[in-house]
Each structure stands twice: as C-alpha cells, then as structure tokens.
C-alpha cells in the first residue's frame, strides 16, 4: 500500500490488531479501532484454552497465555484461589510446559461444571488481561505526543528516513576519506623511486611529510599514509589490490551520493529494508482477533449464512460439516465413515441448519442452552470434533438430548417436550426468549427420567409417540395444557413393560393426516419402513397405544421414528451406526408397508455387532 491519503480504517485492513509473541486471543474490534484511531485504549486479551475429557473426568488445557503474564505467577494464583475456595471444582494443577510451548493442565472434580470453572478463572486470574494501549512518542525528538495509527506510521517512516540519511552520510564520509588515502598511495606507487628519494633526503619524519606534501601536491593525511607504507605494498599484486579497492570506493561513493540526492531515493531504501525484514523474520499471526467483545462475541458479519450439518456424539463431542459431505447412495449400501470417535463413543444426534441460526440445546436433566450455529467448530468428515462442554455449562453426567434451530420455529407457539418415561409437557416458546449462558430449566424431571425430545407446535397439532417395543400412540395436543418452565408435565403414553421406553416422537401439524403423511420407523439392526399415518387413529392421552412394528431378534428394537412426507422427493435419510458408519439414501427408496410389519433392510454394517444409533434428514 502506498497512499498518503489512507485513513486509519484503510490501514486496519492490514494492521488488524496487536500481534503478541505469546499468542492468545484479543477481543472487540471496536475497541481495537478506538485505540488505533485515538492512540489510547484497552484491549481484552485471553489465554487459549480447551476443555478435554479424560478417563477421570474433564480437564482444562491452557496452551497460550496473555502477553507479559508470568506463567509461574499465574499457576501460583490459581493454586491460591483453590486453597481460598474462591474457585471450586479444581482437583489438580500441573505445569507441563516444555521447549515446544506452554501447557498448563487443570484437572476438574467429577461434580464440577467445566465451563463455569473456566469462566471463574478468566474472572479471577490473568488468564484474561486488559492490555492498555498508549501510543506516546517524541515527535521530531522533542515533543511528546499521543499518535493514532496513521500518525505513528508516518513518524516511524520519518525516523527511518532520518536514520538512513545519517547512516548513508556517515558511510559516504568514511568512503571518501578512504578513497582520498588510496588515491595518495596509488599516486606514490606510480612514482615510487622519487618518493623514496625524497624521504631519504629528509632529516626526519616531519620534514619528510612536509617535503612530500610540497613536491607531490599531497594532503597531510596522504603524506602520513605514504610514510606508514610497508615495503610489502611495493609488490605488484599489492598495487593491483589498492587500485581495485579505490575503484570499489569510487563506485560506493557514487551510489551513496545518489541515495542522498533526493528524499524519494531514501524512501526506496526504507522500503527495500522493510521488505528484507519481512522476508527474514515474518511469520503467521500468533494472536487471534475476535470481532465481538467478551460476553457478546459475534462474528456473523464475517461468516456466510449457509447450510450446515451439526453432529453430536453420545459422549458429548460436537462439530459442523457442509451438507454435501455425504453423497447420496442406494438403499442397503454400506455408507461412509462419518465421524472418527474416541473409544466406545457413538454418534447420537445429527441435524441440518444455517450458520447464522440460533441453536437451542435441551439436556437430559431438563435444561436449555443457546448457541449460534457458527460457534460450533467446523471440522472434516473424519475429525472427532470438540467437547461440547467447551461451549455449554453442562453438569457432570448431563448430556444434550434434543436440539432445535431458531430458523425452524417460525410461527409456532409452543414447545412439546417428551421424556423417555413417556411424560409430556407443553410450554409457550416466548418463555425461552432470554436464555442465560448458564442455561434455563425447561422441565422438572422425576426420578431417573430423561428429557429426550423437544418439538415446536401450533397448539392445534397431533402428537405421535413410538416406543422401543413397537407401540405407538397418536393424540390431540389440546389434551395437554400449557405449563410453566418449572412444571413436571403429565403422562403421554402408558408403557406396558418395565424395560420399554419412548424412542421417537413427532408432531402432525394441523392434526389431520393426509395421503402423503407417513410414520417412518428405523430399527437397530438396519431395518426400516414407512406406514401411512391414517393407520394410526387418534386416541386419548395416556393410553398404551397400538402396535406399529413387528419387533424381532432379526430387526432389533426400534431406535427412531419420524413423521415424513412420502411425496417429498428431495428428502434424504441419513442413518449413522454405533461405529460411526453413515449412509445417505433418498426417502422414496424406503418401502411403504403395513403397521405391524417388520420393514426392509436399509443399511448393512461393515462391523459385526454394529447397530443404528441416529437418524436424520437433509
């Protein structure tokens, strides 16, 4: 860039913010811009941290710390906070740093909330620091002045020009001085016999100097240099060396005089030297810049609003993928590996959304959390993803069981919640307008029950539930009154067997089943089918329902159920197995069969004893 009229905004396209040698993260582009525009400001810096799961629970790994923070002091401060019980939930603290970089390991107790502990550390320790900017400089070496980004760059260039001007003048004077002496030596060698005769006739050193100066028109310095010559310099090769050195000095003098001839030439040297420094020392930016302030971080302006697939594993790892990751295949195929999981982990949830959408995460303990889709880290198809506790303040043993995208709520009025034990609850959507970072209570659960499904409704819909043993019930949503956030709900279906539980639920909009609405069921051994919803008559809430599938050892228990549009040719079904195997097939290839039938094979497994764990649509 070479534009004297450039503004601070123009310059910030190249100078995004401070880049500290210790890395870290800096927040709030508005505050950075203010600091660069006025010369004063405060920039919040944070350590780079990650929450990882181990066999013994979770641990916080600190891999980069804020600039000018002493690592030993930081570790000591964390230890003091634990002793004083100002930060609870920390079991052990280790500094595992080596020559490769910083690594501070903070082991957490099993009952600790990882995200909550990390936020407390940001608040009470130097894991979060405020770096104060004060761009004060001596202008023209005299007047102290606070400068903005453009002014300080201009002053720096002025300083570099002055440095190069003085350095060049110094080198020029030195070169001229040496050239002057060399000229005298070369002249003496050309007439060496007369020079020697003059020196021999002189009474002493001083008289010889005066005689040389008067007879050969030499300067005092040249005469002294001749008198100090060694006899070895009379050799022919030594003479050639002197002539070559003189030629080099004359060339150098010409080049240095050319630089000093104009300010433009001096600027060329400034540019060349800066480019040389860049080539020699430039590296990748170490400090990451986050556009939003801490607590209100938003990078939406920088991220395109595009379709995405979000995956969550049973053990709580989350990642985001583009929808075209999975190519459409034929029914009964083996699919592709969709996720590399850690040992004994399995894919549990998968849904499609847009990157700008609000995501609502409902947990097994009946709580609700909120997150932007773009805050979920993108990853490759075979990557493990990141632990979801990096983003949500989940309790120990708490996991995400249901998710909704804000874009899908539209004109809906209520959220219908269903638990594994067959309890239903209806809550007005507007009760969840302000979701705290620490989460909100969505339903009060009894005993060991788990909140598993949450769907939006209009208030005039039908609810359809399916159980593991193949029972199904359909009833009017109006039979469930709206409740407050802390309510426990009422019975939706009576489970006949003690080992039976709800495995699928969906909403029939408008409460009327047309010829195209069907109930899709998928079984754990890869079987599935579609059945017309007209085969399921409306019953009273709380009944035991009717048979929806022929469950056998061949098919395995029901694993999932959805209401689908049988004529929707653009819908694809994605099935994921426990081993991470994924198949995507058109919904229309799944056979339409009767209510009590076993279904057809949809997926064959590469590994023995593998089974279906998750089903979704694109």
Domain ranges in the chain are: 8-134, 152-261, 300-617
Give the pLDDT of residue 423.
94
- Average pLDDT on 514-530 reads 89
- Average pLDDT on 319-339 reads 60
Give the pLDDT of residue 139.
87
Residue 389: both structure tokens together: 């506790």
Q: What is the Cα–Cα distance from 262 to 463, expressed in whole angstroms?
A: 84
Residue 476: both structure tokens together: 């009017």
Q: What is the number of residues in the chain? A: 618
Angle, vertex CA 369, rays to CA 411 and CA 361, nearest 5: 65
Give the pLDDT of residue 340.
47
Q: Find all residues with CB under 8 Å of 293, minimum gap 6, and list them.
A: 27, 28, 30, 31, 44
Q: Between the CA of residue 368 and those of 179, 295, 312, 425, 441, what are the distances in Å?
A: 84, 18, 16, 14, 6
Q: From the CB of residue 145, how many other CB atoms can be counted at a distance below 10 Å?
A: 15
Query: In the predicted model, is pLDDT for residue 346 greater than 70?
Result: no
Residue 165: both structure tokens together: 């001007």
What does DSSP assign to residue 21? T
**Contact (CB, 8 A) for 306 and 353:** no
Higher pLDDT, 447 or 180: 180
- Average pLDDT on 332-348 reads 50
- Best CA proximity match to 96, nearest among 120, 149, 60: 60
- Cα dihedral 319→321→327→332 (10° resolution): 20
- Average pLDDT on 425-440 reads 83
Residues 124-168 have pLDDT tens digits of 999 999 999 999 988 877 889 999 999 999 999 999 999 999 999
Q: Among the listed ranges 54-68, 76-90, 261-275, 586-600, which one has the minimum average pLDDT value?
A: 586-600
> What percent of the chain is modeled with pLDDT above 90?
44
By three-state DSSP, how is residue 297 classified? coil
Residue 294: both structure tokens together: 């801490």
Q: Between the CA of residue 583 and those of 17, 36, 327, 334, what are the distances in Å?
A: 45, 52, 8, 6
- Average pLDDT on 46-58 reads 88
Query: In the predicted model, is pLDDT for residue 612 greater than 70?
Result: yes
**Contact (CB, 8 A) for 318 and 312:** yes
Give the pLDDT of residue 512.
84
Give the pLDDT of residue 322.
81
Give the pLDDT of residue 298.
46
**Contact (CB, 8 A) for 105 and 96:** yes
Angle, vertex CA 135, rays to CA 134 and CA 139, nearest 5: 140
Helix (H) or strand (E) holding 576: strand 572-577
Continuous H helices in 99-148: 114-124
Q: Between the CA of residue 482 and those of 40, 269, 414, what are the distances in Å?
A: 54, 76, 8
Give the pLDDT of residue 293.
80
By three-state DSSP, how is residue 187 classified? helix
Give the global pTM. 0.59
**Contact (CB, 8 A) for 62 and 103:** yes
Give 343's pLDDT tier (boundaries 50, 70, 90). Answer: very low
Q: Between the CA of residue 233 and those of 46, 208, 221, what are the distances in Å?
A: 67, 19, 18
Angle, vertex CA 539, rays to CA 538 and CA 543, nearest 5: 150
Give 181's pLDDT tier (boundaries 50, 70, 90). Answer: very high
**Contact (CB, 8 A) for 516 and 451:** no
Cβ-count burial 153-175 (b if 16+ within 10 Å, e if not): eebeeeebeeebeeebeeebeeb
**Strands ordered across the beta sheet of 490-491:** 451-457, 414-419, 423-428, 490-491
Helix (H) or strand (E) holding 172: helix 149-190
By three-state DSSP, how is residue 182 classified? helix
Higher pLDDT, 45 or 55: 45
Residues 448-492 have pLDDT tens digits of 899 999 999 999 999 999 999 889 999 999 999 999 888 889 999
Give the pLDDT of residue 462.
92
Give 179's pLDDT tier (boundaries 50, 70, 90). Answer: very high
- Average pLDDT on 76-82 reads 94
Residues 354-382 have pLDDT tens digits of 888 888 899 999 999 988 888 888 877 67
Give the pLDDT of residue 404.
84
Q: Find all residues with CB under 8 Å of 397, minimum gap 6, and list them.
A: 364
Q: From the CB of residue 142, how many other CB atoms can be counted at a distance below 10 Å?
A: 7
Residues 395-423 have pLDDT tens digits of 888 888 888 887 778 778 999 999 999 99
Query: In the predicted model, is pLDDT for residue 328 greater than 60?
Result: no
Q: Is 343 exposed, middle or buried (0-12, 13-18, 19+ CB in 10 A)?
A: exposed
Give the pLDDT of residue 345.
52
User: What class is the 8-134 domain?
Assistant: alpha beta
- Average pLDDT on 521-545 reads 90
Q: From the CB of residue 45, how many other CB atoms can be counted at a distance below 10 Å?
A: 26
Give 176's pLDDT tier (boundaries 50, 70, 90). Answer: very high
Protein fold of 300-617: Neuraminidase (2.120.10)
Query: In the predicted model, is pLDDT for residue 331 greater than 70?
Result: no
Given phi > 0 = left and psi -120 to 50 = alpha, else beta, which region is 511? left
Mean pLDDT, rounded, of the chain: 86
Q: Between the CA of residue 152 and those of 7, 14, 79, 134, what are the distances in Å?
A: 13, 15, 42, 11
Query: In the predicted model, is pLDDT for residue 71 greater than 90?
Result: yes
User: What class is the 152-261 domain?
Assistant: mainly alpha
Residues 83-128 have pLDDT tens digits of 998 898 899 999 999 888 899 999 998 888 888 889 889 999 999 9
**CA 475 and chain centroid, separation:** 45
- Best CA proximity match to 383, nearest among 344, 335, 325, 334: 325
Percent of the chain as helix, strand, coil, to the nearest 5: 30, 30, 40
To which residue do tokens 């009590």 refer? 596
Give 341's pLDDT tier (boundaries 50, 70, 90). Answer: very low
**CA 333 and chain centroid, separation:** 35
Give the pLDDT of residue 510.
85
Give the pLDDT of residue 417.
94
- Average pLDDT on 64-83 reads 94
Q: What is the Cα–Cα distance from 288 to 19, expressed in whole angstroms?
A: 8
Q: Find all residues with CB under 8 Å of 36, minimum gap 6, and list them.
A: 8, 11, 12, 15, 148, 149
Query: In the predicted model, is pLDDT for residue 301 greater than 60?
Result: no
Query: In the predicted model, is pLDDT for residue 336 greater than 50?
Result: no
Higher pLDDT, 578 or 252: 252
Are the folds of 8-134 and 300-617 the same? no
Q: Between the CA of residue 40 and those of 22, 246, 493, what are the distances in Å?
A: 22, 54, 65
């Amino acid at each position: 860039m070479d534009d004297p009229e450039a503004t601070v905004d123009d310059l910030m396209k190249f100078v995004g913010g401070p880049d500290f040698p210790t890395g870290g993260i800096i927040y709030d582009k508005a505050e950075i811009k203010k600091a660069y525009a006025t010369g004063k400001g405060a920039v919040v810096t944070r350590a780079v941290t990650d929450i990882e799961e181990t066999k013994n629970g979770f641990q916080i790994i600190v891999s980069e710390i804020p600039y000018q923070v002493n690592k030993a002091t930081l570790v000591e401060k964390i230890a003091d906070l634990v002793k004083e019980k100002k930060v609870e939930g920390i079991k052990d603290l280790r500094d595992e740093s080596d020559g490769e970089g910083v690594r501070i390991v903070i082991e957490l107790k099993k009952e600790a909330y990882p995200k909550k502990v990390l936020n407390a550390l940001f608040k009470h320790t130097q894991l979060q620091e405020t770096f104060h900017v004060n761009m004060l400089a001596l202008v023209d070496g005299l007047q102290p002045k606070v400068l903005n980004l453009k002014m300080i760059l201009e002053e720096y260039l002025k300083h570099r020009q002055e440095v190069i001007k003085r350095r060049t003048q110094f080198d020029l004077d030195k070169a001229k001085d040496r050239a002057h002496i060399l000229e005298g030596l070369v002249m003496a060698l050309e007439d060496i016999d007369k020079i020697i005769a003059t020196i021999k006739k002189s009474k002493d050193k001083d008289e010889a100097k005066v005689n040389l100066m008067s007879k050969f028109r030499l300067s005092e310095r040249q005469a002294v240099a001749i008198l100090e010559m060694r006899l070895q310099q009379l050799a022919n090769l030594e003479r050639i060396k002197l002539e070559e050195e003189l030629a080099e000095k004359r060339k150098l003098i010409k080049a240095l005089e050319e630089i000093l001839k104009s300010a433009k030439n001096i600027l060329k040297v400034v540019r060349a030297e800066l480019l040389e420094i860049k080539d020699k020392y430039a590296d990748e930016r170490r400090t990451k810049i986050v556009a939003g302030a801490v607590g209100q971080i938003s990078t939406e302006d920088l991220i395109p609003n595009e379709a995405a697939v979000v995956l969550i594993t049973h053990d709580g790892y989350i990642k985001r993928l583009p929808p075209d990751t999975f190519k459409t295949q034929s029914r009964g195929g083996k699919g592709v590996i969709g996720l590399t999981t850690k040992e004994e982990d399995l894919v549990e949830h998968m849904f499609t959304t847009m990157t700008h959408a609000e995501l609502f995460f409902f947990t097994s303990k009946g709580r609700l959390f909120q997150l932007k889709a773009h805050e979920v880290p993108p990853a490759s198809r075979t990557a493990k993803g990141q632990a979801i506790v990096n983003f949500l303040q989940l309790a120990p043993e708490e996991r995400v069981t249901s998710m909704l995208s804000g874009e899908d709520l539209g004109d809906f009025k209520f959220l219908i919640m269903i638990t594994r034990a067959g309890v239903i609850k209806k809550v007005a959507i507007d009760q969840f307008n302000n979701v705290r970072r620490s989460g909100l209570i969505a339903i009060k659960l009894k005993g060991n029950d788990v909140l598993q499904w949450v769907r939006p409704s209009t208030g005039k819909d039908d609810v359809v539930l399916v159980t593991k043993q193949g029972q199904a019930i359909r009833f009017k949503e109006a039979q469930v009154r709206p409740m407050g956030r802390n309510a426990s709900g009422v019975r939706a279906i009576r489970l006949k067997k003690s080992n039976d539980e709800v495995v699928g639920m969906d909403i029939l909009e408008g409460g009327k089943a047309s010829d195209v609405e069907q109930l899709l069921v998928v079984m754990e051994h890869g079987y599935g089918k579609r059945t017309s919803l007209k085969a399921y008559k409306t019953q009273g809430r709380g009944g035991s329902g009717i048979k929806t599938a022929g469950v056998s050892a061949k098919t395995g228990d029901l694993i999932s159920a959805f209401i689908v549009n049988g004529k929707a040719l653009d819908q694809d079904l994605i099935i994921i197995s426990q081993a991470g195997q994924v198949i995507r097939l058109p919904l229309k290839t799944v056979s339409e069969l009767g209510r009590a039938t076993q279904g057809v094979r949809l997926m064959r497994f590469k590994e023995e004893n593998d089974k279906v764990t998750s089903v979704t649509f694109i």
